[in-house]
Amino acid sequence: MSGILLLLTQSVVYFIVMAALFRCRAVLGLGAFFCALGVMHFLETYLAAVFFIELPFGLISPGSTVLFSGKLAIILLFYIREDAEAVRQPIYGLLMGNFLMVTLVAMLRLSGPPVALPGYNPDLALIDQMGLLMVWGTTLLFIDAIALILIYERLRGLLARSLVVRAWLSLAIILSFDQVAFFVGLHWVTGTPWSALFGGWIAKMGAAVVYAACLGVYLAVFEKKAEESAPEPLADIFHKLTYRHKYEVLLGATSRDALTGAWTRERFTALAPTMLAQAIDSGRPCSLLMIDADHFKQINDSQGHIAGDAVLRRMVETIRAHIRGDDRIFRYGGEEFVVLAPDLGAAAATMAAERIRKAVATEFAGDGVPAPTISVGVATAPDEGTGLEGLLRLADSRLYEAKRLGRNRVVAGPAVAGGGQTMP
């Protein structure tokens, strides 16, 4: 009983100190919190490897039960009150810092034995074991932290009103996985007895309950007014946690047209061949819509270039609102745009183009004389060609055919019913 009370006391003390540092983040900054979170990792791994206490249900490691479980609970708290882009900082900091420590120790070991000192002989075998366990434990921590957040968000749809239960279940699932995975490495490196596997799992399930309760108390008492962030798609959260989101933001900042927000022609040149080739290789269609603003010169001449810029921005916003998530819109030049639509055949692409045309006409109805409208030419691979240049020429020729026929219309291929010309 005294052993259980010791673990419970340590868990509460750990959470109180770490939560206090987190609570003071506006005063102390997050640096103090990050340092406290990371500074105990070596001791945590050491205790998890060599320091055990015996309880009725098996051997228990305070390092694993208290420190590691608590670290995951604090990371989850950080995510709940901040966001994925903020919480990824300690996750990656722990990963890189721990691997750096292991690398430096390995360099020392390869350089030769240390100088023997009177009354003390360094335990080189322990250092080697700790190096292996640090690598394994750090890798697991990285996986655990990301998976914990994703599972927590996945449970939001099932337990929207019970944050504490979500936290408990998330911690219980991840700690179960970690107990098995870390013990495999621990048993292989140090020969730790199997009784530590079951005993450690029971202790971690208890830790999940304790830390979830502590988390709930903290949020209810100290940050009661703070609302939980709105749910996001799991793919978006994963991208943020793995820095894919930042890569896409940076890429978008250099590949977006400054005026309209559409992708640039340079981005089209880089992306379109790959999208087209992937569609053709998998036997799927890919359609290209060439779009041009009608009477745009007259709009600039009569209303000024500022008004013309506003028209282009609204036009792109309207087009973007009426295309699918996988479609891409590019500013090809001046008032001319290209929409690349994978998995869209000729008939469906023509219907989509007509829907866009009507939406733009509706958006600008009554704005002026002449009211801004668009003309669209449609070409589809592989039925009408497999090369990007050929599709562009074909869509462009159909665009100018739409202009010749009076503008504000869609022209597609002869395979489309009605001769391929969709009238307004």
Q: What is the CATH number of the domain that holds 341?
A: 3.30.70.270
Angle between helical axes of 265-281 and 388-404 (0-180°, round to 10)? 110
Tell whether 132 is covered by a domain.
yes
Which run of H or E residues covers position 329?
A: strand 328-333
**Do both 287 and 334 map to the same domain?**
yes
Final residue belonging to a domain, choices 241, 274, 289 = 241
What pLDDT is recorded for position 253? 55
For residue 352, pLDDT over 70 is answered with yes
Q: How many C-beta atoms lie closer than 10 Å to residue 157's C-beta?
A: 8
> Who contacts 124 (Cβ-Cβ below 8 Å, separation ≥6)?
109, 113
422's tokens? 């969709």
Share of the chain above pLDDT 90, in %: 38
Choose from 55-64, 304-313, 381-390, 391-400 the range with maximum mean pLDDT.
391-400
Tell whether 98 is covered by a domain.
yes
What pLDDT is recorded for position 396? 94
What pLDDT is recorded for position 277? 87
- Tokens 């959470």 found at: 15
**Do both 294 and 366 map to the same domain?**
yes
On average, the pLDDT of the chain sits at: 85
For residue 235, pLDDT over 80 is answered with no
Question: Mean pLDDT, to the nearest integer, of 31-52?
Answer: 82
333's tokens? 């030049």
Final residue belonging to a domain, choices 241, 264, 295 = 241
pTM above 0.75, yes or no: no
What pLDDT is recorded for position 123? 74
Final residue belonging to a domain, choices 241, 276, 309 = 241
Question: Mean pLDDT, to the nearest integer, of 23-34?
Answer: 83
Q: What distances in angstroms separate CA 155 from CA 150, 163, 164, 166, one per listed residue?
A: 9, 9, 11, 6
Tell whether 35 is covered by a domain.
yes
Handedness of CA 246, 247, 250, 253 (dihedral sign): negative
Rg (CA), the chain: 30
Confidence of residue 419 (pLDDT cuts 50, 70, 90): very low
Tell whether 250 is covered by a domain.
no
For residue 12, pLDDT over 90 is answered with yes
Closest CA to 396 of 375, 415, 382: 375
Question: Mean pLDDT, to the nearest integer, of 125-130?
Answer: 78
Beta pairing partners, 292: 336, 375
Tell whether 248 is covered by a domain.
no
Count of domains for the chain: 2
**Do both 144 and 99 map to the same domain?**
yes
**Do both 215 and 150 map to the same domain?**
yes
**Do both 314 and 192 map to the same domain?**
no
Closest CA to 272 of 329, 318, 322, 344: 329
**Do both 95 and 35 map to the same domain?**
yes
Choose from 79-88, 114-123, 148-157 the range with maximum mean pLDDT.
148-157
For residue 423, pLDDT over 50 is answered with no
406's tokens? 């009076």
What pLDDT is recorded for position 418? 43
Tell whether 236 is covered by a domain.
yes
Q: Per 3-state DSSP, what percentage of the chain is helix, strand, and coil (rounded to 5)? A: 65, 10, 25
Question: Mean pLDDT, to the nearest integer, of 300-304?
Answer: 82
**Do both 269 and 158 map to the same domain?**
no
Tell whether 33 is covered by a domain.
yes
**Do both 78 and 160 map to the same domain?**
yes
Lowest mean pLDDT among 221-230, 312-321, 333-342: 221-230
Distance of alpha carbon 353 from alpha carbon 339, whole angstroms: 9
Confidence of residue 246 (pLDDT cuts 50, 70, 90): low
Distance of alpha carbon 68 from alpha carbon 253, whole angstroms: 39
Tell whether 251 is covered by a domain.
no
The boundaries of the domain holding residue 416 are 256-422
* Burial of residue 107, with CB atoms counted within 10 A of its CB: 0-12 exposed, 13-18 middle, 19 or more buried: exposed
**Do both 223 and 274 map to the same domain?**
no
Beta pairing partners, 59: 54
Lowest mean pLDDT among 162-176, 201-215, 297-311: 297-311
**Do both 415 and 336 map to the same domain?**
yes
53's tokens? 């206490």
What pLDDT is recorded for position 420? 44
Alpha helices in 82-115 (DSSP H): 84-110
**Do both 156 and 68 map to the same domain?**
yes
**Do both 352 and 224 map to the same domain?**
no
